[in-house]
Structure 1
Amino acid sequence: MGFIDAVDKHVQEVFAHCTHKNGAMLSDGLDLATAQPLIWEGNMLSNLACQQNFLRALDALGTLTGNDKYHNQADEWIGCALDKIHDIESDLFYWGGHTSYDLLTDAPVLGNHEMKCVYPHYAYLYKVHPERMRRFVKAVWHAHIWDWPTLLFNRHGIYEAWEEKWDIEFEGGPLPIVENTALSFVNTGSDLILSGAILHALSGDETPLRWAKHLLSRYDQIRHPETGLAGYQFNHRDPCRVRESFKPPFSERTDINEVTVITNNVIQVRYGRAAVTFLNAAQILGDEKGKAFLDVVTADLEALATHCYNIDDHSFYPAINDGTRLYLENSNEGIGYCPPTKLRKVPANGLMFLSYARAYHLTGIVRFREIAFSLAKGMGWGDLNAPVDFGSGGSPASDEAWVSKGQNDACALFSLLELHSATGNNALLQSATSLGEQLLRQYQVNGLIVSDSREGETNIDTALPLALLHLEGAKQGDRTALPDFYPNNTYFDPKIVIRRWEEEGR
């Protein structure tokens, strides 16, 4: 079965088993044993934030084949979904980390608004409903920004009306900000930045791009002046919940806080997911408007390679932003916000491979290619200058809680395609073809391409179908018209919903 046929089969299986009678919306996943939609606490969840890879694959199928049926399916589905999940008062959507939508009751499962590395397919959402998406992006900024002059924000937003503040003057100011309730995590920050950049690219409005660049500059400003390393956020709490985790002498250092410690999570989010996202934005915006995005990622990946990468074991090590490496024995278990598990090294994997491969493609910086090739060796692939025959395996699975376990394999396939686009080396396309064939064997179950295991449950947000279509595009000689891949999170954390239910006596 060819790659296009395999993805077509997957798409039709999803529509056949995940569409509910109340409309064209889709459930988030299936029980593989019964082929029935998943049910959580009596709710058949439909979280459009957890379906963006499926949308990109459907869009790519229509583009690659020229068959209108795929875009017609997408238009009907997305048109219905945007009507259902739109909150009239706030213009936010019922989606993301703490809110979803129940297909059985045709009503929201309400918590609060959160986006952490969601990276929606804005171009298609905008195509279906441009005015609603303009209002949504503006609403996201106004729901999450707490202080416009400094851009201090929080990951949680409330479904309520808001007052227009995009005309306020950005002041910036010294960093880090010490504030005990806001959490300026880069996982949410990168979603805010992407929304502003892409809305500009789609509408021509300069205002969202201006604010996106202001927020990007805050993450650039926290860079260590000598090493260039930067952490996860630009504010921290006092007393510091990170510092209290450490043993002496680190527990005695006043410069250690959530802004200055680069844990394994920071490595994979700021230097992995957000890096690829900013690179995508840079390419979409073009050389002049995208330069700030490219510069931030270049500085990040240079610093990470210099101070955190060990070429002998092909791993990235957590560190303080002054370059001091951190190890498991440096922190205490059960105390504070940085237990030993956050100080485990990050071994070679598809996500970090993609970050350096995509950066090499867009910058031509030789060191990035060298790191990418080293990471391939660390995954057991050998020298990429010769074709790799993938009889099994690909990348180590993701160990991140909110990520589809098979996503690193898709990242690995995209990485080979990025390197092929950058070099024209046909051996890389041969390797990509072999890996694509292997991953299809590994993840295809009764026509469905699963997100992780061949048994149990699967979500519909696997990135592999999109990767296979990019592979087919590369084999045909051009994949540039296909939607970009964003290494997203796919998650719904119901803690806010459960808290609401308890307050309501449910």
Structure 2
Amino acid sequence: MKIMVAGLKKGVGLIILLSLGLLCTGKAADFDLQKGKNQNGNLADTSKYLKAVHTFADNVLKSGRDIYGKVHSPLFVDGIHINTGEPVRWENGQQPWIISNFGSQQNLMHVLVGLSEITGDEKYRDAAAEAVRYMYDFQTDSAGLLYWGGHQFVDLENMENQFKGRPHELKNNYPFYEFMWEVDSVSTRNMLRAMWNAHILDWSVLDLNRHGEYDLQLNKLWKHEFEQPQPFFEGEGLTFINAGTDMIQAAMALYALGKDEEAKTWGVRLYHQYVRARHPDTGLGVYQYSQPKRTEIPPKTGPLEEELTFSRYGDRAKNQFADKYGDIALEGNVLWGSRMHTLYGKSPVMMLHLAEQLKGSEAGEKLLNWTLSGLKAYVKYAYSPEQNHFKPMWTNGVDLTGQVMPRTGYYGKKGTPFKPVKPTGEMMLALAKAVNLSEGSPELWEVMRSMFKAEKLGELGEDLKTDPELNYQTQISDPGMLVAVLEIHKATKNEKYLCLAEKIGNNILKDKFHEGYFIASEKHKYVRFDIPDPLALLMLEEARSGLDGRVPPYLTGYGSTDGEPGKDGRPSDEEIYDKTF
């Protein structure tokens, strides 16, 4: 099989690939499937990808477990200093806290379980299971809700939750509920039910809040009455889709793992609220389906900063933009900024995953069709193939390119240009999954084709059946992009995509594997154990070896911890991992 470098003549391309050692024949030049398997049918360390992940996991088990304070638990620190091995600490002006946020370790749990699945060595799964059990035994409230997520973590120095009184919050964390259920089904069921109990403020209209209160008495949950509200009703909550997607995942987990039909009904109902709030003419949006109830009146003129951006003043986009743009100016109708990475990246990846799990059911068809229609609308109205970006706009399709913000507020200073959004690896993964599950949607495929060209990944051709001409000299090392390519390989069965995935995997090893750990770059000081790169490489190994279904997939889950806002803004552990030498 001759595999071409895009843009080169056939003979020249083949010669270059041979000379560079880049010619791939599907299962890869450095990998022999039969020799790589042990007597149990699992894989030994026969490839550089598996070896790297194995090394990473061994180092995490050696240097990432709790050895601090009087109690040495089976929990993991969130990360360490690459040179000293010291754990990541939260500076609080007194005794720094050693961060262990189980909500920010879910990719790591996928890696540990996946590595055991592929190698047959159960020590990795066992370590993950011990952490799950400890969290359930010692780090839940009275209702079974875990202390984890955006505003909670355990300090391993004294095993206390140092943000007592702060709310429960999951936003695009996408926990590994299947494994948690395997470890302790009773506690997982209780936790998932407690999560819905804490975050739904008014069941009759599904008024969801991203923040959930701890230690609430369990109410009647799924037995509540529901009255379909109008989109963008005024509510007490903030119905952000980054929190809503985690809630939908939780409900679907109760159905998939515990056969809870009522949970499934409410999970589908929740996603439907976002769909119903999409613009009726374009099908675009939405990031939220309600607006916060205004209890204080903001000033009619002047900048809207600090406390004036708080929810008690009502919808922040309305306050900042309504004078110029009218009724369309609502937070839910905003289509610019990093929120698009969730609305058309992280969230659809999860929704398509759930649809795939529910394939053949009415619920699965609804989730699939709603997600596909949303993605199709976005690429139709917002994507510019010439610039390979998504134009900033409102959900009514009004293009904001070239315009500036008329007033200072939550979204930026007066005079700030509305900026386009460049596709991320996660957004490309959403499109790739959509192409796969739609069996090659022409409009989505054409956008993927354009993005591949723009990213210099090669020419996909007219449809899934076309033999592509791919660029095996790409320097891309994005794990989301790697998994997107694997998704196309899954859809096409064309080995050329596997070869391209291997090249991206090689780049990840070159750019991000240092001192036995995966890290943002060799210039960064701190290793984040939840980095998705080792999971992407495990998925690559799975595809190369034909061990389909062994590795729990990368679903764009991500966790971080925020502190209380102060005069210098809101502190976050993100600041720690951004530090460089």
TM-score, structure 1 normalization: 0.90
* 1:504 equivalent in structure 2: none
* 2:516 equivalent in structure 1: 447
Aligned residues: 481
* 2:422 equivalent in structure 1: 347
* 1:371 equivalent in structure 2: 447
**Counterpart residue type for residue 187 of structure 1:** N
Of 271, 277, 289, which residue of structure 2 is paired with 1:234? 289
Matched, 1:40 2:90: yes
* 2:494 equivalent in structure 1: 425
Matched, 1:205 2:227: no
| Larger deviation, residues 185-194 vs 76-85 | 76-85
Q: Residues 165-176 of structure 1 correspond to what in structure 2 (within 5 A)?
A: 165-166=220-221, 167-176=223-232
Partners of 2:315 and 2:113 in 1: CA distance: 46
- Cα RMSD between the aligned structures? 2.1
Q: Is the 8 A contact 1:178 1:235 kept in 2?
A: yes
Partners of 2:262 and 2:102 in 1: CA distance: 26
Quote how far apart the aligned CAs of 1:55 are: 0.4
**Counterpart residue type for residue 410 of structure 1:** P
Q: Is the 8 A contact 1:264 1:317 kept in 2?
A: no
* 1:387 equivalent in structure 2: 470
Quote how far apart the aligned CAs of 1:438 are: 1.1
Q: Is the 8 A contact 2:405 2:416 kept in 1?
A: no
Partners of 2:523 and 2:515 in 1: CA distance: 10
Partners of 2:49 and 2:214 in 1: CA distance: 42
* 1:177 equivalent in structure 2: 233
**Counterpart residue type for residue 262 of structure 1:** L
Quote how far apart the aligned CAs of 1:45 are: 0.8
Quote how far apart the aligned CAs of 1:454 are: 4.1
Q: Residues 226-265 of structure 1 correspond to what in structure 2 (within 5 A)?
A: 226-237=281-292, 240-246=315-321, 249-250=324-325, 253-265=326-338
Quote how far apart the aligned CAs of 1:323 are: 0.8
Quote how far apart the aligned CAs of 1:144 are: 0.7
Quote how far apart the aligned CAs of 1:336 are: 4.1
Quote how far apart the aligned CAs of 1:426 are: 1.4
Quote how far apart the aligned CAs of 1:243 are: 3.1
Q: Residues 69-468 of structure 1 correspond to what in structure 2 (within 5 A)?
A: 69-87=123-141, 89-110=142-163, 111-166=166-221, 167-179=223-235, 181-237=236-292, 240-246=315-321, 249-250=324-325, 253-288=326-361, 289-327=363-401, 329-332=403-406, 334-337=408-411, 343-364=418-439, 365-384=441-460, 385-390=468-473, 392-394=475-477, 409-452=478-521, 454-468=523-537
Partners of 1:92 and 1:282 in 2: CA distance: 26
Partners of 1:148 and 1:236 in 2: CA distance: 16
1:89-110 deviations in Å (ceiling 9; x for gaps)? 1321110001111111011122
* 1:406 equivalent in structure 2: none
**Counterpart residue type for residue 378 of structure 1:** A
Secondary structure at the counterpart of residue 254 of structure 1 = helix
Secondary structure at the counterpart of residue 98 of structure 2 = coil
| Larger deviation, residues 26-35 vs 475-484 | 475-484
Quote how far apart the aligned CAs of 1:451 are: 4.1
Partners of 1:489 and 1:461 in 2: CA distance: 8
* 2:78 equivalent in structure 1: 28
Partners of 2:178 and 2:530 in 1: CA distance: 18
Q: Is the 8 A contact 1:50 1:491 kept in 2?
A: yes
Q: Is the 8 A contact 1:193 1:216 kept in 2?
A: yes
Partners of 1:327 and 1:136 in 2: CA distance: 45
Q: Is the 8 A contact 2:502 2:540 kept in 1?
A: yes
Change (3 A) 1:303 1:101: same
Change (3 A) 1:79 1:147: same
Q: Is the 8 A contact 1:279 1:359 kept in 2?
A: yes
* 1:54 equivalent in structure 2: 108
**Counterpart residue type for residue 76 of structure 2:** L
Once the two structures are aligned, what percentage of the paired residues are identical? 29
Q: Is the 8 A contact 1:451 1:461 kept in 2?
A: no
Partners of 1:337 and 1:230 in 2: CA distance: 17
Secondary structure at the counterpart of residue 343 of structure 1 = coil
**Counterpart residue type for residue 114 of structure 1:** E
Quote how far apart the aligned CAs of 1:391 are: 5.4
Partners of 2:240 and 2:412 in 1: CA distance: 15
| Larger deviation, residues 312-321 vs 414-423 | 312-321
Quote how far apart the aligned CAs of 1:192 are: 0.2
1:294-318 deviations in Å (ceiling 9; x for gaps)? 1111111010011100011111112
Change (3 A) 1:363 1:453: farther
Secondary structure at the counterpart of residue 117 of structure 1 = coil
1:59-111 deviations in Å (ceiling 9; x for gaps)? 11111122222222222232223323222x13211100011111110111222
1:2-44 deviations in Å (ceiling 9; x for gaps)? 2111101001111111111311100001111212111112111
**Counterpart residue type for residue 438 of structure 2:** T
* 1:64 equivalent in structure 2: 118
Q: Is the 8 A contact 1:271 1:301 kept in 2?
A: yes
Q: Is the 8 A contact 2:290 2:332 kept in 1?
A: yes
1:474-502 deviations in Å (ceiling 9; x for gaps)? 1112432321211123210011799xxxx
Change (3 A) 1:108 1:196: same
Change (3 A) 1:328 1:47: farther
1:44-63 deviations in Å (ceiling 9; x for gaps)? 11000100001001111111
**Counterpart residue type for residue 264 of structure 1:** G
Secondary structure at the counterpart of residue 360 of structure 2 = helix
Secondary structure at the counterpart of residue 161 of structure 2 = strand
* 2:563 equivalent in structure 1: 494
Quote how far apart the aligned CAs of 1:326 are: 1.7
Quote how far apart the aligned CAs of 1:276 are: 0.3
| Larger deviation, residues 147-156 vs 238-247 | 238-247
**Counterpart residue type for residue 107 of structure 2:** N
**Counterpart residue type for residue 40 of structure 1:** W
Q: Is the 8 A contact 1:47 1:101 kept in 2?
A: yes
Change (3 A) 1:375 1:23: same
1:97-141 deviations in Å (ceiling 9; x for gaps)? 011111110111222111111100110111111111101111111
Q: Is the 8 A contact 1:184 1:235 kept in 2?
A: yes
TM-score, structure 2 normalization: 0.79
Q: Is the 8 A contact 2:79 2:87 kept in 1?
A: yes
Partners of 2:49 and 2:57 in 1: CA distance: 12
**Counterpart residue type for residue 307 of structure 1:** Y
Secondary structure at the counterpart of residue 274 of structure 1 = helix
